[in-house]
Amino acid sequence: MTALAQAQIANTTAVEGDHRVKGRRITPYLLLIPGLLWLVMFFVVPMVQLAIVSIESKFPGYPGYYYLDWNVFNYANALSEFWPQLLRSFLFAGLATIMAFLIGYPLAYAMAFKAGRWRNVMMICVVAPFFTSFILRTIAWRQILADEGPIASTLNALHLLPGGHITETWVAVVAGLTYNFLPFMTLPIYSSLERVDPKVIEAGGDLYANGLTTFRRVTLPMSMPGVLAGTLMTFIPAAGDYVNADLLGSDIDTKMVGNVIESQFFRVPGGFPTAAALSFTLMAIILLMLFAYTRRFGTEELL
């Protein structure tokens, strides 16, 4: 408080003494303290702990006990054993991101330009699922896709369902991921489309671009910040998700890396290092992808 007050004095009156200048200088750092403390306590410290666990070994004979021996082979072992699940995570997350984009973009476009007085209603429809628990929503999907539910029974009646059921397939997992992260795709795109002046789109038409060309050359590039944010906000949590694969997937070929981490943490005695190593690998890959992605489509390119 004193520092703040000093800073105010320093701002409003002519700077006389040295101490006032100092007050002004340290204020921004003081303001950073709560945020930094929070970050250190709940991000840096757990990260360091996780990093340590990932290079520990289990104590023979005492499940749940570990000691640090710089066992970097945890990473090699985890990767060589669980690369299919890791790969599948990115594949499913990628598919879900593409699906969410294909569904979310037209939805956001309709909300921004065509909805008129229905805009608020549509907005509520997009946001409403947030008011229910993520897991309950996914369980509801299980009911919808159940064998005796409307979709599966119709497809079965038409002999269009090769395996006889939708749940326990990768399609159900990707559909669940798409559904659960759709709002994260739609809302950022909507907010960047909403800022597009309709006159600019008209200008595209006026300058000899037909509807599609105008979309491709004008509307889409202008909404890229939203697309960028939306794809990241969909892809990143989807890649780490395990609920959809757990509730909608099968036990053979749809488990994702999140399921492995969960299982190693909670069900396999002595699995903590593997789980931690996998968590770090997942994080590292996502960071690398993020870096490459923003370098390629980065915001400095847009506006």
Partner 1 sequence: MMALFSKTSGSFREAKGDLRLEAVTKKFGDFTAVDDLSLTVPRGSFFALLGPSGCGKTTNLRMIAGLEQPSQGRILIGDTDLTGSRPYERPVNTVFQSYALFPHLTVRDNVAFGPKRRGLPDAMEKADAALKLVQMGHLAGRKPPQLSGGQQQRVALARALVNEPEVLLLDEPLGALDLKLRREMQVELKRIQTRVGLTFIHVTHDQEEAMTMADTIAVMNKGRIEQMGTPASLYDLPRTAFVARFLGQANMFEAEVVSSTADTLTLERAGHHFTLPRKRAAVETGTVLYGVRPEKLFLSEKAPTDLPSRMVTLGPGRIIDVSFTGVSTNYIVDVPGFGAASAFEQNLDVDPVHNRPGDECWLSWDQGHAFTVATETAEASTP
Partner 2 sequence: MSSRPAPTDPTVRALVSMVQSGLTRRRMLGLGGGAAAAALLAACAPPTPPAAGKTDVVLPKDLSATDKVINWANWTAYLDVDDATKTHPTLEAFQKATGITVNYSEDIDDNNTYFNKIAPQLREKQAIGRDLFVFTDWMANRVLREGLAQPLDLIQMPHAPNLLPSLREVSFDPGRRYSLPWQGGFGGIGYNKNKLGRDLKNVSDLWAPDLKGKVVVLSEFRDTAGLIMQANGVDISGSFTKAQVQTAFEEVSKHIADGSIRRVKGNSYLEDLKSGNAIAGIVWSGDLATLKAETEDDSWTFVLPESGGTIWTDNMMIPITSAHRSNTMKLMDYYYQPEVAAQVAAYVNYICPVLGAQEELAKTDATTAANPFIFPTDTFLTEQKVQAFRALTSDEDADYSTLWSKVLGE
Which positions lie near partner 1, rule CB under 8 A?
197, 199-200, 202-210, 212-213, 216-218, 221-222, 224, 302-303
Least distance in Å: CB of 245 to partner 2? 9
Rule CB under 8 A: say whether 263 interacts with partner 2: yes
Beta strands in 124-281 (DSSP E): none
Rule CB under 8 A: say whether 135 interacts with partner 2: no
First to last CA, the chain: 39
Rule CB under 8 A: say whether 52 interacts with partner 2: yes
* Closer residue to partner 2 (CB): 8 or 49: 49
Rule CB under 8 A: say whether 241 interacts with partner 2: no
What token pair was written down for 80? 């060589």
What token pair was written down for 193? 């489309």
Please select the residue that binds partner 2; options are 233, 275, 277, 282, rule is CB under 8 A: 275
Rule CB under 8 A: say whether 143 interacts with partner 2: yes
d(CA 301, CA 225): 9
Residue 32 near which of partner 1, partner 2, none (CB within 5-8 Å, type-dependent): none
* Closer residue to partner 2 (CB): 168 or 241: 168
Helix (H) or strand (E) holding 68: strand 66-68
Residues whose CB falls within 8 Å of the CB of residue 88, separated by 6 or more in sequence, listed in order: 253, 254, 255, 256, 257
User: Among residues 215, 192, 222, which one has the least CA distance to residue 302?
Assistant: 222
d(CA 255, CA 257): 7
Residue 203 near which of partner 2, partner 1, none (CB within 5-8 Å, type-dependent): partner 1
Rule CB under 8 A: say whether 91 interacts with partner 2: no
- The alpha helices in 195-256, defined as continuous H runs, are 198-206, 211-214, 220-222, 224-240, 243-248
Least distance in Å: CB of 204 to partner 2? 48
What token pair was written down for 261? 């981490």
d(CA 54, CA 261): 12
- Please list the residues that pair with 56 across neighbouring strands: 68
User: Among residues 252, 275, 272, 302, which one has the least CA distance to residue 67?
Assistant: 272
Rule CB under 8 A: say whether 83 interacts with partner 2: no
Residue 241 near which of partner 2, partner 1, none (CB within 5-8 Å, type-dependent): none
Rule CB under 8 A: say whether 172 interacts with partner 2: no
In single-letter form, the type of residue at position 154 comes to T
Rule CB under 8 A: say whether 60 interacts with partner 2: yes
* Closer residue to partner 2 (CB): 50 or 196: 50
d(CA 20, CA 284): 44
Rule CB under 8 A: say whether 253 interacts with partner 2: yes
Please select the residue that binds partner 2; options are 29, 38, 67, 83, rule is CB under 8 A: 67
Rule CB under 8 A: say whether 168 interacts with partner 2: yes
Give me the residue label for tokens 């509807």.
211
* Interface contacts to partner 2, rule CB under 8 A: 41-42, 45-47, 49-50, 52-53, 56, 58-70, 85, 139, 142-143, 146-149, 163-165, 167-168, 247, 250-255, 259-272, 275-276, 279
